[in-house]
Amino acid sequence: MGATASKLPKEQLSEYQELTFLTKQEILLAHKRFTELQDRQHLNTRIPMSKILTLPELKSNPFRQRICHVFSTSDAKDGSLSFEDFLDLLSAFSDSATLEIKSHYAFRIFDFDDDGTLDTADLEKLVNCLTGETDDTKLTQEEMKQLISNILEESDIDKDGTVNLSEFQHVISRSPDFVSSFKIVL
């Protein structure tokens, strides 16, 4: 286990520190966790989403699959993560990340159709992820319609029926709890 840290060259470790909001220890721990997820026989450079989702930090997150898709640079769009993708994910969710970075990634995670806006369909998926989609927790169609109407009333500054990144960041800037709740700690 201690040998894992030595597989990360000092120059690369320094570069990762410069490019992320992570400390040296956090990067070494991330590297250790990442290599533990690798297939021992093939030591892939990418970890499949199915293995990433086994991490306790993501296992119960309702947005776990969207998080993998947003941070994945895979051409296959399969949600697999390289070590650099994994570091980007941890950096964006770290305590040291800025409100601008956190809100940018939160917006991308909530933009389920990746069109650059949060429309009614995105907001409905967002609410369903947060409330759960069981009969006990799922909102009625009327409740959902009212909630989305309220969200748009508060957030949609240009009144185009969607929330863009700027509008989202404006709303988030008025929510002091956002930064502390948008984190993943290894």
Counting Cβ atoms within 10 Å, is residue 24 exposed (0-12), middle (13-18) or buried (19+)? Answer: middle
Write down the pTM of the prediction. 0.90
- Residue 2 is predicted with a pLDDT of 42
Return the percentage of the chain with pLDDT > 90, whole number.
81
- Residue 183 is predicted with a pLDDT of 83
* Tens-digit pLDDT profile for residues 96-105: 999 999 999 9
Domains and CATH numbers, the chain: 10-92 (1.10.238.10), 99-181 (1.10.238.10)
Residue 3 has pLDDT above 60, yes or no: no
Give dist(CA 8, CA 14) in Å, integer: 10
Residue 42 has pLDDT above 70, yes or no: no
* Average pLDDT estimate for 147-157: 97
Counting Cβ atoms within 10 Å, is residue 31 exposed (0-12), middle (13-18) or buried (19+)? Answer: buried
